[in-house]
Structure 1
Amino acid sequence: MKKALITGANKGVGFETARQLLENGYYVFIGSRNLDNGESAVQQLNKAGYTNVEAIQLDVTDQLSVTQARKEIGSRTDTLDVLINNAGINGGLPQAALEAPAENFHKVMDTNLYGVIRVTQAFTDLLDKSDEPRIVNVSSSGCSLTLQCDPTWKYYQHKGAVYTASKAAMNMYTINLAYELRDTAFKVNAVCPGFVATDFNHHRGTGTVQEAGVRISKYAMIDKDGPSGKFISEEHNPQTGETPW
């Protein structure tokens, strides 16, 4: 049975992605900053008939928490097949480039960029033992430098200096990570779940968590011929999903 770790999986897109991987026969570790919230998510999944799931306390902004989560998961399995770096924050307001305090940038980067780095580096050794290791970094088409410069893009007016900067930086980390792992069995991609209606954006999105879960889990389960080092947004490009950086 393949095993997956999803950060920030106690609700929203992460929770639905966990459900879809469980549906496909995976054992899932629900990473949750608050363990009680993680346990509550597990109970919901148990009630739906999914038993191969457990909660792990994991605060991606806390190196000690990440290290402890690696220790706990390592005591349960020698191999991790999938890592989905889903935990993220939007940074609140203001998001204007001339108004947002530098402290806001630092806080969001600590979760959306540094958190991805901490978790990825901590779990690479377990992933390396898988025959088909997969890393999915949950991104956003809104952090595409190309699209944000295109006045014809439908979300051109949706600017947010703090959040988009953090995800653009995470995308560059994804590029470098995929390059370093290019001669291995790893597949590493940045995947946009779409403009999804969750509490992350005060339910202003137009997509569903079910659609988002399909998009993310798809790239968690790709075979050896699947892409690596790509930025995928099936909302932006329904044909191939490939999106300009």
Structure 2
Amino acid sequence: MYNNFKICAFALCAISLPLLSSCSDDDNDGPKGMVKVGEITFENTNIILAGPDSYGANLYADYTGGDRFTAGSIAFNKGANAITFGLNTQGDFYPDIATLYNGGMFLSQFNFRSNPADKIGDWWYSYNNQCSVYNVESVDGANRGAGDDNSNTFAVINGSCDASSISSVYGSGKEVSLGGFHFDNNAEFTIGEIEICNTSYVYGVIQNGNGLAQPLKANNGWFKVLAYGYDAT
């Protein structure tokens, strides 16, 4: 019998990238033969959130404005197990430094889906708003209730570019690592449920395009999300 757990609200970030958030415990068991052992929630943790605005300057190594996020851990299964996530240290941009330039996973509460009064142009679907989720069930710009099931906090996963994007945008060899999380102590679980949503950045580029991409809507395009799972070995 496999153990099963639930992660609610995953979103997408930056060039072609995914978000997690807290959720309600509305079902008891996963697929047949599996027993639900836990649920990940990102609410009420001591983990530093992306900030001080929706660009997320505190996710970069050169930030000097206060607390900077690098990594966090959240317990589940009655505290017996935990997931750990954070900013990657491996990448050609800043080797051995935890920074979003190398990809990673972080928590946020921003949900700008249009320009505030002091912003112009394509601000809301640019990297300047890369920490916002495009959740139409929340109040635009309130930065509350934008996670799954009206939770306030969600996770953004950022990382990985295809070879042609890396070459044309960053130059040959400029690798960006995948973003994600791992179970501590080599524990193994099957994810029974995960909710995925676009960030405002991704949604806006899909709809409108930008200097690097054509709008998918106008070109009858599609957007593909790949998630990879690995066992303890």
Q: TM-score if structure 1 supplies the norm length?
A: 0.28
Higher relative contact order (CA 8 A, sep 6+): 2
Per residue, is there more helix in 1 or in 2? 1
Per residue, is there more strand in 1 or in 2? 2
